């Protein structure tokens, strides 16, 4: 996004309101509804969802952490949370900046489940 847009987000000066607050709520709701959005995705009892944002000069980075005690992992819930939060940022900021893009949705780390722990090691770096 344009640097002017990140400044507006950081200063809570977007006309639609609190961008990061709305995006956090949207991401949490999306994590809880992932099985309704993605065919063949197992419904999972989501125990907790946290959405964090980092504001750079020309971007807002979104990170989600999802936890469960259910039978399967929550990777899809975490990536859905990030994506919907990013779409919410776009929706709330589009009147100020239509050049924004959403990039690099990726799993960084997981723990638990049948396949055990996993951490990204391919050199892909966040924005």
Burial class (CB in 10 A: 0-12, 13-18, 19+), 31: buried
18, 57, 58, 91: the active-site residue: 91
Handedness of CA 84, 63, 89, 61 (dihedral sign): negative
Q: Catalytic residue at 91?
A: yes
Supply φ then ψ for residue 94, to 5 degrees. -60, -30
Catalytic residue numbers, as ranges: 91
């Amino acid at each position: 996004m344009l640097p002017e847009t990140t400044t507006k987000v950081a200063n809570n000066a977007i006309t639609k309101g609190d961008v990061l607050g709305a995006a956090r709520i949207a991401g949490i709701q999306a994590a809880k509804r992932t099985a309704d959005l993605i065919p063949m995705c197992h419904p999972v009892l989501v125990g907790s969802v946290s959405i964090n944002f980092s504001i750079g000069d020309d971007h807002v980075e979104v990170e989600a952490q999802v936890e469960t005690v259910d039978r399967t992992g929550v990777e899809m819930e975490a990536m859905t949370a990030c994506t919907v939060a990013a779409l919410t940022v776009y929706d709330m900021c589009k009147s100020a900046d239509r050049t924004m893009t959403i990039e690099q949705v990726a799993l960084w780390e997981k723990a638990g489940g049948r396949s055990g722990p996993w951490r990204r090691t391919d050199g892909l770096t966040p924005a």
